[in-house]
Amino acid sequence: MRKFLRYTLPVFILITAMLLSNASCGNTSLKPTKAITNSDDTGNKYSYQDYAGMGAEEITASMTLEDKAAQMVQGAVYMVSGSDMEKFDYGSILSTTGTSLKANEWLNKIIGYQQSALLSHAQIPFIYGQDSVHGVNYSSGTVIFPHNINIGAANDPDLTYKMGLAVADEIKLTGMLWNFAPCLAVSRDPRWGRTYESYSSDYTVVSDLGAKYIRGLTEAGVLACPKHFFGDGMVEYGTGEGDYLIDRGNATLTDVQIKQQLSAYQAAIAAGARSVMISFSSVNGVRMSENYHYITEVLKGEMGFTGFVVSDWEAIHQLTGSDTIKGQVVIAVNSGIDMLMEPEKYEECRKAIIDSVNEGKITKERLNDAVTRIIRVKLEMGLFDDPYMENIKTVQKNTGSQEYRDLAGKLQEESMVLVKNENAVLPLAKGTTLMIIGPAADSLAAQCGGWTISWMGAQDAQIIGGTSILSGFRKIAKEYNLKILTDPSQMSQADAVILCVGESPYAEWNGDTADLLLTGKLGLAGNREAIDAAASSGLPTIALIVAGRNVIIDKEIDQWDAVVQCYLPGSEGGGAANVLVGKSVFSGTLPMPWYSSVDSIDKGDAWLQAGFGLKY
C-alpha cells in the first residue's frame, strides 16, 4: 500500500494533472508583467515586487496568519495543482514520482507553479525540493553519479566539491533548486537499506565529504539539505519502525557519539547549509521529529543554525505524543520544525497550524520564527528578485554533458576497491579472452541503484547515456586486444571470467536485509547461475560486486581469484574496465568494515577493516 501511494498513484496523478493543467505548465505568457496587488486582512496593499528591499522579519510581519501557515507546508507535485498554489501559496512542493521529465519540462512546470504562487494573496515565491542524491533524480538524460558509499570509498574531497558544483549545475537546468542532500548518516550496520546513502562509518569522513559537497551545491546557488538529523545511520538492528528490520529505528548513543554525529552538521552549517531535514529515527528512545532539545536548543541554539528545519516525509504522523493531525503538528512545530513535508496532508496541516495559533497552542513567536527562517532562505536564494529563475547562470546548456560524465567516471574509478588479487590476476594482460557474465554486467539500472529516475530505481531503458561494465570493456577491447565473450556456452574459449553480480535496486526500508546475501531476497536475479557457471569453468575468476554495501561473500570468496567492490557506480560504471586493465590505478578503500557473517556486525571483528584496499 505504501509503495502504491508513493510510486504508482503519484505517477498516475501527475500525468493526469499535467494533461489537465497543460495551459499553466510552461506557458510563460502567463507571467505577471507588472506588480499584481492584493490586499490583506488589514487593508494593506502589497505585491511580491513590493517586498524589494525588505528583510525576512519585515516580510513575515506583513503576512496574514493564513499566508504564514501556508509557507510552513510542503505538498507533493502529484497532489498540488496550479490553482491550489494561486489560492494558498504553499511554501514548497516536492517530487517523488516515477515520471522522468526532461530538464526543460521540469523548469517549465516549476515556472508554471511560480506564476500561480505570484498570483496568490501572499505572493511569496515557492521553492521546489527533491532528492537529487547522486545527480538529478526524476529527470531523464542527467548524469547519475556514484552513490555516497562510492564517494566515501574514493574519499577525494576536491572531486566531491566538484561533484557538488556539477550536480547543482544540472539541478539549475531543471529549476528544482532545493536538494534534499547530502545524507550525513554515519553507517553502523550494513543490513540497513540506506547504507549506500552514507559516505562512511567514520564520522570524520562523513563530516569532511558532506561539507565539501554542500560547499559545491551552495556556491552554485542550490539549497543543500543535510539529512537526517541525526543518528539515522546508528540505529540498531531489530528496532526498525513497524515491521522494518532497522530503518527508522532507535540509536542508543553516548554523549561522545552524539557529539560526533553533531560535528558533521556543524561542518555542514559552516559549509553553507541553510536547511536541515530531521530524521525519522530516534536517539536514546526519543523520536527526532519531536526532539525539542536537539532541534531547538542544540541545532538552532548552541550550533547557531539560522536556516530552516524540515520534517521528513509524513514523519510527524509517527510521533508518540498524539494521534491527531493537529496534535502532531503542534508537537512538531513546537519542537522546532519550521516546514512540514506533508505530501498529501499539507492542507490539513496548514489548517491545523492556523487553528493551533488561534488556540494559543503554537505561539505567534514560534510561528513568526518559522516563517522568518523560510523567507530568509528564500531571500538568500534570490527567489524574490528572480522568481522565474531567468537570471540563473549555468556552466552547461543541457544535462548529461560529457564534462560531467567524465567527472562521474573519475569518481567511479577512484571508488573501486580491490579486496583480493591472488596470483596477480589483475591487471588483465593484453590479448586476454574474457567471458563477461552475470546480471550486473550490462545493467545501468543495477549500477545506479535506488533514487534513480524513481524512488526504487530505474529500468535500464530509462537511463539515457552512460556505459555499463560490459560496454566499458567493449570500448577498450581494441586498444588492449581483448576478446569479449558473453555466451557461457563458449566458456572453453576464454582465459578468464569477469563475474558481475550484485543487488537489485532498492530504497529505504525496502533494502533492509537479514542475511546480506547475493543469493538472498535482494540479490539480482541470475546471481546464483552466474556464480555457479564461473565456479564450474575452472577459469581464473574476477568477481565485480555491484551492491549498495559490503554483502556477505564467505561462501564464494575461495572460488574467486580477485574481488573488486564497485558499490553503485552510477551511469558511468563502464570505467571499471579501465581499472581492470591497469589503464587507471586502484585507489579506493573500504569506507565501512566488511563482515564475513551477520553475527560479527558491529562487534569489532570485521573480515576487512574500513580503510582496506589493495593497490596496483
For binding to ligand BGC (CB under 6 A), which residues are involved? 96, 131, 180, 227, 312-313, 508
> Nearer Cβ to ligand BGC, position 89 or 312?
312
- Let me know if 243 is a catalytic residue: no
In the complex with ligand BGC, the residue whose CB is nearer, 163 or 507, is: 507
* Structure-block grid coordinates of residue 146: 556514484
DSSP string, 228-276: SBTTGGGPPTT--STT-SSTT-EE---HHHHHHHHHHHHHHHHTT--EE
> What's phi and psi for 501, nearest 5 deg?
-125, 165
Q: Which three cell numbers stand for residue 71?
A: 509557507
Nearer to ligand BGC, 77 or 428 (CB): 77
Determine which one of 67, 169, 197, 508 is catalytic: 508
Grid cell of 430 as nine digits:
593484453
Q: Which residues contact 207 (CB under 8 A, 6 or more apart)?
A: 184, 263, 264, 267, 268
Whose Cβ is closer to ligand BGC: residue 76's or residue 143's?
A: 76
Q: How far is CA 223 from CA 151, 174, 275, 311, 416, in A?
A: 20, 14, 7, 16, 30
How near is the Cβ of 231 to ligand BGC at its closest, in Å?
14
How does 337-364 read in b/e, with b if 16+ C-beta sit within 10 Å? Answer: bbbbbbbbbbbebbbbbbebbeeebbee
CB of 232 to ligand BGC, least distance (A): 8
- Tell me, yes or no, if 508 is annotated catalytic: yes
Catalytic residue among 170, 202, 312, 338: 312
Smallest gap from residue 314 Cβ to ligand BGC (A): 8
Q: Which residue lies nearer to ligand BGC by CB, 96 or 328?
A: 96
Phi, psi of 213 (to 5 degrees): -65, -45
293 prior amide bond cis, ω within 30: no
Query: For the chain, how many residues are written?
Result: 616
Distances 305 to 53, 311, 532 between C-alpha atoms, Å: 24, 16, 54
Amino acid at 545: I
Of the pair 225, 501, the CB lying nearest ligand BGC is at 225
Please, what is the minimum distance in Å from the beta carbon of residue 207 to ligand BGC?
19
Q: How far is the CB of 608 from ligand BGC (least distance, A)?
A: 29
State in angstroms the smallest separation of the CB of 294 from ligand BGC. 18
- Rank residues 126 and 560 by Cβ distance to ligand BGC and give the closer one: 126
Nearest approach, Cβ of residue 131 and ligand BGC (Å): 5
CA pair distance 601, 594, nearest whole angstrom: 9
User: Residue 20: exposed, middle, or buried by beta-carbon count in 10 A (0-12, 13-18, 19+)?
Assistant: exposed
User: What is the helix (H) or strand (E) element at residue 543, kind and residue range?
Assistant: strand 541-546
Amino acid identity of residue 428, one-letter, is: L
What grid cell was written down for 451?
533514487
Q: Annotated active-site positions, please?
A: 312, 508
